[in-house]
A and B are shown apart, each in its own frame.
Chain A
Amino acid sequence: MSTLAQKKGFGAVLWDYLTTVDHKKIAILYLIAGGFFFLLGGLEAMFIRIQLAVPNNDFVSAGLYNEILTMHGTTMIFLAAMPLIFAFMNAVMPLQIGARDVAFPFLNSLGFWLFFFGGVFLNLSWFLGGAPDAGWTSYASLSIASEGHGIDFYALGLQISGAGTLIGGINFLVTIINMRAPGMTYMRMPLFTWTTFVTSALILFAFPALTVGLFLLIFDRMFGSNFFDPAMGGNTIIWEHFFWIFGHPEVYILVLPAFGIFSEIFAIFSRKRLFGYSSMVFATVLIGFLGFMVWAHHMFTTGMGPIANAIFAVATMAIAVPTGIKIFNWLFTMWGGSITFTTPMLWAIAFIPSFVAGGVTGVMLASAAQDYQYHDSYFVVAHFHYVIVGGVVFALFAGAHLYWPKMFGTMLSEFLGKITFVLFFIGFHLTFFIQHFLGLWGMPRRIFTYLPGQGFDTSNMVSTVGAFFMAAAVIILLINVVITSVKNEKVGNDPWGDGRTLEWAIPSPPPFYNFKQLPLVRGLDAYWLEKMEGKKGMSPAEPLGDIHMPNNSFVPFVISFGLFVAAFGAMYHNEHSWGIPVLIVGMLITLGSMFVRSVKDDHGYHIHKEDLEDNNDKGVKA
Chain B
Amino acid sequence: MANQQPNSGNPRVDIEYRRKKSAEEMRHQVITFALMIFLTIVAFVAAGYEGFSGWFVVPFILILALVQVVFQLYYFMHMSHKGHEAPAMFLYSGAFVGFITIIAFLTVIWW
* Residues of chain A whose beta carbon lies under 8 Å from any beta carbon of chain B: 173, 177, 201, 204-205, 209, 235, 237-238, 241, 245, 292-293, 296, 304-305, 308
Contact = CB atoms under 8 A, between A and B. Distances in A.
B54 interface: no
B80 interface: no
B5 interface: no
B104 interface: yes
B105 interface: yes
B90 A204 contact: yes
A308 B107 contact: yes
A238 B109 CA distance: 8
B108 A304 contact: yes
Contact of B108 (A205, A209, A293, A296): A296
B86 interface: yes
Interface in B80-111: 86, 90, 93-94, 97, 100-101, 104-105, 107-109
Nearest to B93: A205
Contact of B97 (A173, A205, A241, A308): A205
B109 A241 contact: yes
- Secondary structure at chain A's binding surface: helix, strand, loop or mixed? helix
Interface residues of B, number: 12
A292 B90 contact: no
B90 A237 contact: no
A209 B101 contact: yes
B109 A237 contact: yes
A241 B105 CA distance: 8
Interface in B29-71: none
A204 B97 CA distance: 11
A305 B109 CA distance: 10
B90 A235 contact: no
A173 B94 CA distance: 14
A209 B101 CA distance: 9
16 contacts: A173-B90, A201-B93, A204-B90, A204-B94, A205-B93, A205-B94, A235-B109, A238-B105, A241-B101, A241-B104, A241-B105, A241-B108, A292-B97, A292-B100, A293-B100, A296-B108
Q: Which 4 A-B pairs have the closest CB atoms?
A: A205-B97, A177-B86, A308-B108, A304-B108
B78 to A, nearest CB: 17
Contacts, number: 30
A205 B97 CA distance: 7
A296 B105 CA distance: 11
A473 to B, nearest CB: 39
A21 to B, nearest CB: 24
Contact of B104 (A173, A204, A205, A296): A296
A46 to B, nearest CB: 38
Given A177-B86, A304-B108, 5 more contacts: A173-B90, A201-B93, A204-B94, A205-B94, A308-B107
Contacts of B105: 238, 241
Given A177-B86, A204-B90, A205-B94, A245 B108 contact: no
Nearest to B85: A177
Contacts of B101: 209, 241, 245
A25 B49 CA distance: 65
Contacts of B107: 308
A412 B86 CA distance: 40
B79 to A, nearest CB: 15
A177 B88 CA distance: 13
A164 to B, nearest CB: 20
Nearest to B109: A237
B35 to A, nearest CB: 32
Nearest to B107: A308
Interface in B8-35: none
Contacts of B94: 204-205
A388 B40 CA distance: 52
Contacts of B90: 173, 201, 204
Contacts of B109: 235, 237-238, 241
A308 B104 CA distance: 9
Contacts of A292: 97, 100
A274 B98 CA distance: 35
Nearest to A205: B97
B77 to A, nearest CB: 18
A141 to B, nearest CB: 15
A177 B84 CA distance: 11
A35 to B, nearest CB: 32
Contacts of B104: 241, 245, 296
Nearest to B86: A177
Contacts of B100: 292-293
A246 to B, nearest CB: 11
B81 to A, nearest CB: 16
A212 to B, nearest CB: 10
Contacts of A304: 108
Nearest to A237: B109
A305 B86 CA distance: 38
A314 to B, nearest CB: 15
Nearest to A245: B101
A296 B107 CA distance: 13
